[in-house]
A and B are shown apart, each in its own frame.
Chain A
Amino acid sequence: MNGVHDMGGMHGMGPVQAEKNEPVFHAPWEARVYAITRAIGAWRKWNIDTGRHYIELIAPADYLRMSYYEKWHVRMVELLLKTGLITRSELETGKPEPGSAKLTPALRPEQVAALALNRNIASSHDPKIPPRFKVGQRVRARNINPLGHTRLPRYARGKTGKVDRDHGVYNFPDTAAHDLGPKRQHVYSVRFAARELWGEQASPHDSVYIDMWDDYLERA
């Protein structure tokens, strides 16, 4: 969707303001929202793409006004309700429905350390799914404007670049976010010259590398 979250190239957002000695969380509620989101994620009721989409669904004015973890809070409540993990009356009363059985949490404390840091090398290799493009090939990002979730940023649509590397096979966010299947396909880093994206004002030396799924690309 062409939401306000798709910010690459926008003007008017002001200078970048870095905070000195910034804490990991700015308030205890932020830490709890982060942790609850992770712990609920272990139930696997939604995938990462759906999670991202539910942040994007926050109306533009609210999206810009809310702090980062406030958006996480909105997303979590919406997804808890959508997936039926909680009911609206439970949310309103703060109490489980009378007579409902107590569940066993999906994430145990002793699992946390190995989730955060481990030596598990993930494979994105899948010989059954051939790449549609080759490293070095010139490609154009398709001009698509889906109403649903996409990871093809607006600033790249219709622009021509070159496949820099093939990262292997990944789920396709545009379908995965909407429970329409993983539609696994190759992801590439595509190099776009800064001048192709932004015109003559950009440095002739600079470039932006964007990760692109097969379905975002066409031959150029």
Chain B
Amino acid sequence: MRRFVSLALSLLVLTLVTSPAGAHGLAGKRFFPSTLATEDPFVSDELTLPNVLHIKRPASGDEPATRETEISGEISKRITRFFGISLEGELVHLDPDHAPSKTGFGNLEIGLKWQAFTSAEHEALVSLGLGWEVGGTGRKATEAQSFDVVTPSVFFGKGFGDLPDSLWILKPLALTGSVGLAIPTRSRTRTVTVEDGEVEEEIERHPHVLQWGFALEYSLPYLTSFVRDVGLPSFFRRLITLVEVELQTPLDRGQSGHTTGTVNPGIIWAGRFFQVGVEAVVPINERTGKNVGVRAMLHFFLDDLFPTSFGRPLFGK
């Protein structure tokens, strides 16, 4: 863990002392906000701190129902205009029924993303990414895995500002999403416990998992700036309503098709230098859970806060 923290700090210092300008999630006149539950389709200089999730997970096998709180942070930095890196960490607090609570860090996650296609005219983006969950960097007691997981992904974003004028009310809509395949570097974990002189062996299998999701957004800033100024008060002129759907579908190793996920309706308020968002987290099935959770995020636009230093790509403009 220590060497990855050192790596993260070194990168932070390196980027703070270098200079030369301008993303945000923009494609033409479309501003894509950073979403809370699903991955963004663009590269950027941005900081999420914190992203907080609280939800009660259902009992599973010998595991009791557990109230889970995750507090995570992520920094994204552009290396070049269309290529960026991100570092993400999380603190997990587990509070199981009838058992002591546990707190610990999750595994560090490192991401690389290349914004391969941008169409200003059609408000469209496509990016390719590679995520790496670094096994063993988190605390095992709070369910951090001891092995690496590598996730190649495709990301997309599409605004609907190019619809005909007769459909003006739909122009503020945008869709972002991603499809990735989480590939564990270990197929199974064997745990041996000795209790009362008896040896028990437990084998946990780690399937390949299709990670997919999307966010459907309706942007009031887009409505008032580019389509029709309907006289909204200034607070509402910065609101984006959205519904995110986040899904995981195991593909093999005895868990094929056991999809879990959540539907997350919420709002984002985007200001000059930061945005805040809050969502309900609604499980899609009993396998995911029965209780509605909540997620909230504070997110900073580093390219606006530090336009001449940290908010620029390391190389090029």
A, B bound? no
B residues contacting A by CB (< 8 A) are none
